[in-house]
Structure 1
Amino acid sequence: MEFEVKDMTCGHCAGLITKVIKDVDQSAMVHVYLDQKRVKVVSETSPDEFLHAISEAGYSPISKD
């Protein structure tokens, strides 16, 4: 699944988003493309759970799937 996170602007943002995704699913594979403001996640968990977690961290994710 892929999310666009337009308000992800730096390495700290990328790290925090990675952390909240791992908090939802510790085994998730997370790929952050800061220059494209995109996050790819490989997981069996529902995209809605990740959208909620990223939103709770203060960001505005949009599902791109």
Structure 2
Amino acid sequence: MYELQVEGMSCGHCVGAVTRSVKEVDAAATVEVDLAAQKIKVQSTATLADIAAAVEDAGYPVKNSAA
């Protein structure tokens, strides 16, 4: 399980965009988004670096991440 601090998420569209970006890397990934805390939790077989890069490519800066 990865936890990432993600800036710029404020609405359902943001949740969808972040979720889609992760699923493009790993279609089987599970993604939990906490808008209030600006965090996402991801269960995936992809690397943390690949997940973070996908989120960044979607336009949401990753400020902190941990496995």
Q: Which protein is richer in helix relative to its size? A: 1
**Deviation of residue 61 (structure 1)?**
1.1
Moved over 4 A (4+): none
Distance in 2 separating the partners of 1:51 and 1:64: 8
Would you say how many aligned residue pairs link Structure 1 and Structure 2? 65
Aligned to 1:55: 56
**Deviation of residue 56 (structure 1)?**
0.8
In structure 2, relative to structure 1, the CA distance for the partners of 1:33 and 1:64 (3 Å cut) is same
Distance in 1 separating the partners of 2:55 and 2:8: 11
Q: Matched residues, percent identical?
A: 35
List runs of 5+ in structure 1 lacking aligned partners. none
List runs of 5+ in structure 2 lacking aligned partners. none
| Pairwise CA RMSD | 1.0
